[in-house]
Amino acid sequence: MVKPDPKTLDSQLSGRLQTLMLLRVIFLSLFFGASIFIQFRETRAYFGHIQTFHYLLAAVVYFVTFIYVILLKFSKKFTLQAYLQLLFDTLFITAVIYSTGGIESLFSSFYFLAIIYGSIMLYRRGGMIVASTSSILYGTLLDLHYYGVIHPLGSRLSYPEQYRSGYLLYIILVNIIAFYVVAFLSSYVSEQARRSSVELKAKQIDFDKLEILNESIINSITSGLIALDDQDRIALFNPAAEEMLGRSGHDVSGMKIEEALPFIRPYLSQGCEPREPGPWKPPPLIDLPYSRPDGNRMYLRLSISPLMSSLGQQRGRILIFQDMTEMKRIEEEMKKVEGLAMMGKLAAGIAHEIRNPMASISGSIQLLKNGLGEDDDVNRRLMDIISREINRLNHLVNDFLIFARPSKPCLQEFDLNQLIVESLELFKNSQHLSDKIHIVTEFQKPLRLTSDPEQLKQILWNLFLNASEAMPDGGSLHIKTEVIGDASQIDRKKVILTVRDTGKGFDQRALENLFTPFFTTKEGGSGLGLAIVKGLVEGLEGEASGSNHPQGGAQISISLPLDPSVTLQAESA
Question: Is residue 210 domain-resident?
Answer: no
Bond prior to 293 in cis (omega within 30° of 0): no
Q: Do 430 and 382 share a structural domain?
A: no
Bond prior to 446 in cis (omega within 30° of 0): yes
3-state secondary structure of 500: strand
| Amino acid 515: pLDDT | 74
Q: Do 262 and 355 share a structural domain?
A: no
Q: What is the DSSP letter of 256?
A: B
> Considering its fold, how many domains does the chain have in total?
4
Residue 458, phi then psi, degrees to nearest 5: -65, -40
Question: Is residue 214 domain-resident?
Answer: no
Cβ neighbours around 184 below 10 Å, total: 16
Distance, CA of 353 to chain centre: 59
**Domain of residue 342, CATH code:** 1.10.287
Task: Determine contact, residues 193/123, Cβ cutoff 8 Å.
Answer: no
Domain hosting residue 97, numbered range: 6-201
Measure the N-to-C terminal CA separation of the chain; round to a whole number of Å.
Answer: 46
Please state the length of the chain.
Answer: 573
Rounded CA-CA distance 118/182 in Å is 11
Rounded CA-CA distance 395/33 in Å is 123
Q: Do 149 and 33 share a structural domain?
A: yes
| Amino acid 198: pLDDT | 77
Rounded CA-CA distance 200/374 in Å is 116
Q: At what angle do helices 110-146 and 78-99 cross, to 10 degrees?
A: 50
Question: Is residue 292 domain-resident?
Answer: yes
Q: Is 227 left (phi over 0), alpha (psi -120 to 50) or beta?
A: beta
Rounded CA-CA distance 222/231 in Å is 26
Q: Do 94 and 46 share a structural domain?
A: yes
| Amino acid 358: pLDDT | 64
Residue 280, phi then psi, degrees to nearest 5: -70, 135
Residue 443, phi then psi, degrees to nearest 5: -105, 140
Among residues 217, 218, 214, 238, which one has the least CA distance to residue 226?
Answer: 238
Beta pairing partners, 439: 477
**Cα–Cα–Cα angle for 445, 449, 451, rounded to 5 degrees:** 155
Rounded CA-CA distance 170/172 in Å is 5
Rounded CA-CA distance 443/447 in Å is 8
Question: Is residue 215 domain-resident?
Answer: no
Q: Please, where are the H alpha helices in 152-270? A: 165-220, 239-245, 249-252, 257-260
Q: Do 169 and 93 share a structural domain?
A: yes
Q: Do 496 and 398 share a structural domain?
A: no
- Please state the pTM of the whole predicted model: 0.42
Q: Please, where are the H alpha helices in 405-496? A: 416-428, 453-469
Q: Do 102 and 175 share a structural domain?
A: yes
Rounded CA-CA distance 534/5 in Å is 68
Rounded CA-CA distance 389/396 in Å is 10
Beta pairing partners, 314: 308
Task: Determine contact, residues 184/129, Cβ cutoff 8 Å.
Answer: no
Q: Do 386 and 352 share a structural domain?
A: yes
Among residues 231, 215, 137, 229, which one has the least CA distance to residue 175?
Answer: 137
Q: Please, where are the H alpha helices in 405-437? A: 416-428
- Show pLDDT as tens, one digit a residue, over the chain (573 residues): 444 555 555 667 777 777 777 877 787 777 767 666 666 655 443 334 445 676 777 778 778 878 877 877 787 787 888 888 888 888 888 888 887 778 877 778 888 888 888 888 888 888 899 899 989 998 888 888 887 787 777 666 554 555 667 778 888 888 889 989 988 988 888 888 878 877 888 888 888 788 788 788 888 888 888 888 888 898 888 888 888 888 888 888 888 888 888 888 877 776 555 555 555 566 678 888 888 888 788 888 888 888 887 777 788 888 888 888 888 888 888 877 766 665 665 566 556 556 566 666 666 666 666 666 555 666 666 666 666 666 666 666 665 655 555 667 788 888 888 988 888 888 888 777 777 888 888 888 778 888 888 888 888 888 888 888 888 888 888 999 998 875 555 556 889 999 998 888 888 887 777 777 666 666 555 566 777 788 788 888 888 888 888 888 889 898 888 876 544 443 433
| Amino acid 10: pLDDT | 63
- Answer with the one of 169, 201, 233 that is the final residue of a domain: 201
Rounded CA-CA distance 515/567 in Å is 25
Rounded CA-CA distance 53/99 in Å is 8
Question: Is residue 174 domain-resident?
Answer: yes
Question: Is residue 564 domain-resident?
Answer: yes
Q: Determine whether 423 is exposed, middle or buried from the number of CB atoms within 10 Å of its CB (0-12, 13-18, 19+).
A: buried
Rounded CA-CA distance 61/66 in Å is 9
3-state secondary structure of 495: strand
Question: Is residue 125 domain-resident?
Answer: yes
Q: Do 197 and 261 share a structural domain?
A: no
Question: Is residue 442 domain-resident?
Answer: yes
| Amino acid 564: pLDDT | 64
Q: Do 380 and 317 share a structural domain?
A: no
Rounded CA-CA distance 455/410 in Å is 9
**Domain of residue 566, CATH code:** 3.30.565.10
- Answer with the one of 370, 404, 438 that is the final residue of a domain: 404
- Answer with the one of 404, 427, 449 that is the final residue of a domain: 404
Q: Do 175 and 26 share a structural domain?
A: yes
Q: Do 62 and 137 share a structural domain?
A: yes
Task: Tell me what percent of the chain is helix, strand and coil, each rounded to the nearest 5.
Answer: 60, 15, 25
